[in-house]
Amino acid sequence: MSKVLIKGNDATVLGALLAGCEAYFGYPITPASEIAHAAAKFFSLLGRTFIQAESEVGAINMVYGAASAGQRVMTASSGPGISLKQEGVSYCAGSELPCVIVDIVRGGPGLGNIGPEQGDYNQIVKGGGHGNYKVIVLSPNSSQEMCNLTMLAFELADKYRIPVYVLTDGVIGQMMEPVEIQTPVKDVPDKKWALKGTPETAPNLITSIYMDHEDLEQHILKLDRKYKEIEEKEVRYEEYKLEDAEIVLIGYAVISRILRTVVDEARKDGLKVGLLRPITLWPFPCVKIGELSEKVKSFLVVEMSTGQMVNDVKLSVNGKKPVHLYYRVGGMVPSTEEIIKKLDEIK
Amino acid sequence: MAQKLLVKKPESFWDIYERKPGEDKQSTHYCPGCGHGNVHKLIAEALDDFGVTEKAILINPVGCSVFAYYYFRCGNVQVAHGRAPAVGTALSRCNPDSLVICYQGDGDLAAIGTNELIHAANRGENMTIFFVNNAIYGMTGGQMAPTTLIGQKTMTTPYGRNSQNEGYPIKVCELLASLEAPVYLERVALTDAKHMAKARQAIRKAINNQINKKGFSLVELLSPCPTGWGVEPPDAHKWIEENMFPYFKLGVYRDVADQREPIVRAKRIMDPKEVIEKLSLDKIGLESGGITSVPIDKYANPSLKIAGFGGQGVLLLGEVLAKAAMIKGYEVSWLPSYGPEMRGGTANCSVIIQKEKIGSPMATNPKVLIAMNRPSLEKFQNDVLPGGIIIYNTSLIDIEPSRKDVEIVSIKATGIADELGNVRVANMVALGTYIGYTGLLGREEVLKALSDSISRKNLISLNEEAIIRGMECAGKRV
Ligand SMILES: Cc1ncc(C[n+]2csc(CCOP(=O)(O)OP(=O)(O)O)c2C)c(N)n1
Ligand code: SF4
Ligand SMILES: [Mg+2]
């Protein structure tokens, strides 16, 4: 088997190129800058578009433009830049423009620091921009998934005409792991609704404005039906030793990696612990967690935020079992020992 | 047909404005005397004459002209307030043969959208901007615009614009004329027939420049907003002449399209086979085989912390190690400390090597510490698991590790590197020491990993020598 040892950030660019992404627009920020570096190098090599935008606002609006042109397009940033992009993401959602946005989360609020964190969960999974909209959020936890889930992100974006986030933390972005190179996507869908400056596309209109109240209500309801379909079809998660688990650990991105080690360690001490890792943060695996809450004793959510995803877990558990939370923030990553100690407290 | 001639509606407009809500599908939504309708007409006529309607993509701004798409029979996209030049940038790059027109008001272009404007202009994007300067925010009910004149009363300058509070009106053409890239900048006015003729010419020129791929053109049109100014439509032209002409001087601020080469965009490589070839995807991978030999148990499945000062190459040491283990068939991960501490200070990385899928990539309590300088030894030695290994660089560390419950391996890494001719290969001496001592990996995969990791091929043999010396020394405990 042939593999390359690359950073998660580089793997996401590889995935984008393989998925037929034609344009990259971004503004540098640690810990996501390697994405811009790799994009500058490889998009240009393939004659595809790379622009270092004047700001994240500029970048996301370029994404809006390229998506309007019917091309696969991406941008990447970290917390402060994602905050700036939110206006544009709302417009993309409203105009039903497919695009891929990568967020390599760092410490916040404000300038925070460049350490790994997961404090962007709410601003991404819960919308962040104005209006009634949702975005698909995929959360890789390895370099291989940075590549594969980026490819999937493009596919889902086109399938549902929706912005898709690849959300992970600084650790996954900066870590190098072996990646098996996938085959490039052959058939990128042709988008009849796009603007290509051709006679066929001249009648097309891309917009998010519906002045008539009834029209806007209909538009929002249409989006909502699409979101329902996504909730039904696109939930993804990974289970680890859940069969006989009494305590379910839940975490995403680097935390899910640490929790895997915790499961193995805790089981050596006879604790029946398992792991549920949401791969899609929206749609969230509510149904699966709801089912688990019928048979397990309790849940422990571990985050690198003061408790954001835990609210989705609580909604899914719906009061049936205790949901505990352990977290570190500010760039601190919880150690397996800390989490095992917490497990001992709650078992 | 006869009727069409009567109203002289350009072909680039829809015959009936189906997109416009309400009963009246014939007239525009603009106020009587508004300049927007005139600008639309001039643009539509130019599109007709150049025969480029179907190539055109009109970017609808936020402002009174947000509904320009009611009228134009070309591709239309509605965008966020002020962002048209960014959206247009991408549309132009993605469709190099289309005609990208940004239509923007003064609030849209010269207030909220200045950043996007200036940078699109500065990149010399092949696009055309029609900038409708009516010195007011029309759509939102007559607030101050960046182009509102000194003394002009608006809803948000009820006592008149005061330079001490609001600064001076922005002169967009003059501002952009300080940039190198734009090929054409002109300010015209929608007043009497003479000025209208100039406006028509300017609009054509700006479109023609783009057809010829000459880059960025902007036409600023001083345009009436009788509603916003609180004047009767017939008096609006006089208002422009009296109030705007003295400050916003009409004229050409740049016209160099003739001197510029057409912009050429690269051809995209999308075919999977070509992509693989161009990126050498079939060549960059390393074969990762089944693990054939394993070290004794206590050295198996290590987690390592590798630390030193920036410039000692500890990250590369970790990378070569991880890559070699990958070639051997192990699961591996490599995680650097990243950020400001790398600049000048200490650097470290965690490397995990194991047969099973890797959980945590952090070596918080490593089995192995490779310390290249004293602060690294002091900082990390107490984290090492009992029974683990500390390898330390005695050339730079003048203390002994305090741990008694781990195996201590000393190596004069920097000294040996110096003997080899370059202190910078001390990292590879340490790497050789580690694999020689534990037998985790063989020489072959390490040297293969090395040559894959080092881009300057003339340095490979020196690094190889360093690794081999380290391996030899491992037994002798230098
Ligand atoms: C982000 C944002 N802020 C504010 C507005 C409200 N708004 C709509 S149009 C407009 C001003 C438009 O003025 P101008 O660009 O001069 O266009 P005009 O109507 O004068 O043609 C404003 C502030 C908005 N739609 N979006
Ligand atoms: S408010 Fe002014 S700019 Fe808007 S339509 Fe009326 S006259 Fe035209
Ligand atoms: Mg205005």
Q: Name the closest ligand to CA B140.
A: 1
Residue B339: pLDDT over 80:
no
Return the pLDDT at B1. Answer: 40
Residue B425: pLDDT over 80:
yes
Q: How many helices (H) and strands (E) does chain B have?
A: 17, 14
Residue B6: pLDDT over 80:
no
In chain B, % of residues over pLDDT 70: 96
Chain B residues touching residue A177 (CB < 8 angstroms): 332-334, 358, 361
Return the pLDDT at B86. Answer: 98
Residue B2: pLDDT over 80:
no
Strands in B331-336's sheet, in edge-to-edge order, are B286-287, A2-7, A176-180, B331-336, B346-354, B303-309, B368-371, B389-393, B407-411
Find residue B188's DSSP bridge partners: B221
Helix (H, G, I), strand (E, B) or coil at B424: helix
Common-topology check for domains A3-233 and A237-346: yes
Per-residue pLDDT reduced to its tens digit, B348-381: 999 999 999 999 999 999 999 999 999 999 999 9
Q: Are residues B200 and B313 in the same domain?
A: no
Q: Which residue of B has its CA nearest to A114?
A: B339
- Is residue B9 in a domain? no
Point out the domain boundary residue: B213, B228, B259: B259
Between CA B205 and CA B213, with CA B209 as vertex, the angle to 5 degrees is 170
Q: Which residue of A has its CA nearest to B72?
A: A203
Strands in A298-303's sheet, in edge-to-edge order, are A237-240, A273-278, A247-250, A298-303, A323-327
Rounded average pLDDT over B306-318: 94
Q: How confident is the model at residue B337 (pLDDT cuts 50, 70, 90)?
A: confident
Look up the CATH number of the domain holding residue B391: 3.40.920.10
Q: How far is the CA of B166 from the centre of ligand 3 (A)?
A: 16
Ligand 2 in reach of B64 Cβ (< 6 A): yes
Residue B344: pLDDT over 60:
no
From B28, B29, B31, B239, the mutation candidate for ligand 2 (largest count of ligand atoms within 8 A of CB) is B31
Ligand 1 in reach of B62 Cβ (< 6 A): yes
Q: Are residues B237 and B339 in the same domain?
A: no
- Is residue B19 in a domain? no
CB contact (8 A) between residue B115 and residue A95: no
Report d(CA B397, CA B393) in Å as an integer: 6
Split into its structural domains, chain B has a count of: 2
Return the pLDDT at A127. Answer: 84
Q: Are residues B154 and B284 in the same domain?
A: no
The pTM (predicted TM-score) of the whole model is: 0.96
Q: Are residues B418 and B277 in the same domain?
A: yes
In the CATH hierarchy, which fold is given to the domain comprising A237-346? Rossmann fold (3.40.50)
Please provide the DSSP assignment of A287-320 as one string.
Answer: HHHHHHHHH-SEEEEEESSSSSHHHHHHHHHTTS
Rounded to the nearest integer, the mean pLDDT of chain B is 95
Of B462, B470, B202, B199, the residue nearest B321 (C-alpha): B470
Amino acid letter, B138: G
Return the pLDDT at B289. Answer: 80
Rounded average pLDDT over A239-251: 98
Q: Are residues B177 and B284 in the same domain?
A: no
Q: Are residues B415 and B351 in the same domain?
A: yes
Q: Are residues B248 and B277 in the same domain?
A: no
Point out the domain boundary residue: B228, B259, B290: B259
Look up the CATH number of the domain holding residue B169: 3.40.50.970
Return the pLDDT at A155. Answer: 98
- Is residue B187 in a domain? yes
Return the pLDDT at B7. Answer: 59
Q: Are residues B243 and B130 in the same domain?
A: yes
Q: Are residues B192 and B282 in the same domain?
A: no
Interface predicted TM-score of the whole assembly (ipTM), two decimals: 0.97
Rounded average pLDDT over A296-314: 98
Give Cα separations from B89 to A159, A183, A198, A233, B98 (angstroms). Answer: 25, 31, 18, 35, 12
Amino acid letter, A1: M
CB-closest option in A62, A184, A258 to B360: A258
**Crossing angle between the packed helical segments B314-328 and B443-453, to the nearest 10 degrees:** 130
Find residue A178's DSSP bridge partners: A5
- CATH code linked to domain A3-233: 3.40.50.970
Rounded average pLDDT over A80-88: 98
Return the pLDDT at B362. Answer: 93
- Is residue B5 in a domain? no
- Is residue B423 in a domain? yes
| Backbone torsions φ then ψ of B225, nearest 5 degrees | -135, 75
What range defines the domain where residue B225 resides? 36-259
Report d(CA A303, CA B362) in Å as an integer: 16
Between CA A289 and CA A298, with CA A292 as vertex, the angle to 5 degrees is 95
Find residue A116's DSSP bridge partners: A106
Q: How confident is the model at residue B341 (pLDDT cuts 50, 70, 90)?
A: very low
Q: How confident is the model at residue B3 (pLDDT cuts 50, 70, 90)?
A: very low
Q: How far is the CA of B133 from the centre of ligand 3 (A)?
A: 6
Per-residue pLDDT reduced to its tens digit, A14-55: 999 999 999 999 999 999 999 999 999 999 999 999 999 999
Q: Are residues B322 and B439 in the same domain?
A: yes
- Is residue B392 in a domain? yes
Q: Any alpha helices (H) in B25-83, and if so which ranges? A: 35-50
Residue B477: pLDDT over 70:
no
Ligand 1 in reach of B81 Cβ (< 6 A): yes
Q: How confident is the model at residue B34 (pLDDT cuts 50, 70, 90)?
A: very high
Query: Where exactly are the structural domains of chain A?
Result: 3-233, 237-346
- Is residue B88 in a domain? yes
